[in-house]
């Protein structure tokens, strides 16, 4: 027999759904059978003396107590989860990349070249989820909830990522991200050439291309596409000469009102100001040149700042992720 108290992260879910998460190797019919055979009993929120059988639809409350009448062998076998991939020493989450952390929230400055989610269970490549779970492992106190990403950024984009540690606040913030009006996201980018205006707005609609075989999954289509709004603001311009070309590179601040897939990359390319080293939406010959001569090996796009309402603290918060060293060193090199 096992006995647990329901934490805040496990509360407010149906009993059968809680049990399915607790016992991932059990069928739903087996879980119903456990309840039917009185193997699951609950004491309501410390206010009752006896443990009682509850319906499958019963919604667990914070500080409920639950008894599960299974043998240790059966419990261990049914609750066995997929093994969390061990993070290699060199791939471990670097605490220097923590922008902010409290009991509810972890904000990190993601490196480029790493996926936020695992793409293939067979791959040995690390990902942000694995790193975060490795970092937070000893701090978790939930039977069924794992820290979750609130949003995502591309593999080759660096910058701010937010991971929520508590389920009830995660749900509220996810809704804010879907609505967009309560969250402000600002990016830093290096683009080719001089922008048409120092400040401007792009409103071309974007259409996702289904079944695309490569990353070129988005195009401008003002008839069939979805609304997309991007604001840009020139920060600095750099003019320099190589053996082959005279080039202008522009550092730019970009704010997005809508969060379409590849929105910034496609919108900036539509102005003939593509993100530097964008493998999909610009010139591969120039990309190769910058890699050979300036050691730049990824798109020059960085999720820079974010503003949102922190429900755990009931106040608006703003964070900034320092621009990564590879982009800083690249700018220093072209200036010299």
State pTM to two decimals. 0.79
- Per-residue buried b or exposed e for 70-81, using 16+ beta carbons within 10 Å of the residue's own CB: beeeebeebbee
**Is the model more confident about 188 or about 209?**
188
Measured between alpha carbons, how far is 82 from 84 in angstroms, rounded to an integer? 6
Residue 73 and residue 111 in contact, taking contact as beta carbons nearer than 8 Å: no
Q: How many CB atoms lie within 10 A of CB 165?
A: 24
Residue 120 has pLDDT above 60, yes or no: no
Q: Among 3.30.2350.10, 3.30.1490.20, 3.40.50.1370, 3.60.15.10, what is the CATH number of 89-335?
A: 3.30.2350.10
Mean predicted lDDT score pLDDT of the chain: 85
* Section 209-220 average pLDDT: 75
* Section 215-240 average pLDDT: 89
Question: If DSSP codes are grouped into helix, strand and coil, which group holds residue 328?
Answer: helix
Question: If DSSP codes are grouped into helix, strand and coil, which group holds residue 268?
Answer: helix
Instruction: Determine what percent of the chain is predicted with pLDDT higher than 90.
Output: 32
Q: What is the pLDDT of residue 221?
A: 87
pLDDT 10s digits, 177-189: 877 778 899 999 9
Question: If DSSP codes are grouped into helix, strand and coil, which group holds residue 165?
Answer: coil
Residue 258 and residue 234 in contact, taking contact as beta carbons nearer than 8 Å: no
Question: If DSSP codes are grouped into helix, strand and coil, which group holds residue 254?
Answer: strand
Query: Any alpha helices (H) in 250-304, and if so which ranges?
Result: 263-270, 284-294
Confidence of residue 193 (pLDDT cuts 50, 70, 90): very high
Residue 121 has pLDDT above 60, yes or no: no
* Section 250-273 average pLDDT: 93
Residue 171 has pLDDT above 70, yes or no: yes
Residue 158 has pLDDT above 70, yes or no: yes
Confidence of residue 101 (pLDDT cuts 50, 70, 90): very high
Catalytic residue flag (residue 154): yes
Q: What is the pLDDT of residue 236?
A: 95
Q: What is the pLDDT of residue 213?
A: 65
Q: What is the pLDDT of residue 180?
A: 74
Instruction: Determine what percent of the chain is predicted with pLDDT higher than 70.
Output: 90
Residue 317 has pLDDT above 90, yes or no: yes
Which one from 16, 72, 134, 154 is the annotated catalytic residue? 154
Confidence of residue 47 (pLDDT cuts 50, 70, 90): low
- Of the listed ranges 3-12, 64-73, 97-106, 294-303, the least confidently predicted one is 3-12
Q: What is the pLDDT of residue 273?
A: 93
Fold of 2-78: 3.10.290
- Per-residue buried b or exposed e for 177-209, using 16+ beta carbons within 10 Å of the residue's own CB: eeeeeebebbbbbbbbeebeeeeeebebbbbee
89-335 and 2-78 share a CATH fold: no
* Section 47-67 average pLDDT: 84
The domain ranges of the chain are 2-78, 89-335
């Amino acid at each position: 027999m096992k006995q647990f108290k329901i934490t805040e992260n496990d509360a407010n879910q149906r009993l059968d759904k809680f049990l399915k998460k607790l016992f991932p190797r059990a069928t739903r019919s087996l879980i119903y059978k456990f309840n039917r055979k009185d193997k699951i009993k609950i004491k309501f929120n410390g206010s009752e003396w006896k443990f009682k059988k509850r319906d499958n639809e019963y919604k667990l409350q914070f500080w409920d107590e639950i008894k599960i009448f299974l043998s240790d062998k059966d419990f261990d076998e049914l609750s066995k989860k997929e093994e969390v991939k061990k993070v290699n020493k060199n791939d471990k989450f670097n605490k220097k990349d923590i922008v902010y952390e409290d009991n509810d929230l972890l904000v990190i400055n993601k490196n480029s070249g790493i996926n936020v989610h695992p793409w293939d269970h067979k791959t040995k490549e690390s990902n942000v989820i694995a790193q975060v779970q490795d970092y937070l492992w000893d701090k978790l106190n939930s039977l069924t909830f794992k820290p979750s990403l609130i949003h995502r950024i591309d593999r080759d984009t660096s910058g701010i990522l937010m991971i929520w540690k508590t389920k009830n606040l995660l749900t509220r913030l996810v809704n804010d991200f879907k609505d967009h009006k309560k969250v402000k996201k600002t990016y830093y980018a290096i683009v080719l050439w001089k922008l048409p205006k120092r400040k401007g707005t792009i409103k071309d609609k974007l259409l996702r291309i289904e079944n695309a075989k490569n990353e070129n999954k988005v195009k401008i289509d003002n008839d069939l596409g979805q609304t997309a709004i991007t604001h840009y603001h020139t920060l600095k311009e750099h003019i320099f000469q190589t053996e082959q070309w005279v080039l202008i590179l522009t550092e730019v601040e970009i704010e997005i009102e809508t969060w379409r897939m590849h929105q910034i990359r496609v919108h900036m390319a539509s102005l003939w100001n593509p993100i530097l080293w964008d493998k999909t939406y610009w010139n591969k010959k120039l990309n190769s040149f910058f890699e050979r001569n300036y050691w730049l090996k990824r798109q020059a796009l960085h999720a820079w700042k974010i503003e949102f309402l922190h429900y755990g603290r009931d106040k608006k918060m703003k964070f900034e992720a320092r621009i990564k060293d590879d982009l800083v060193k690249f700018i220093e090199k072209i200036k010299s």
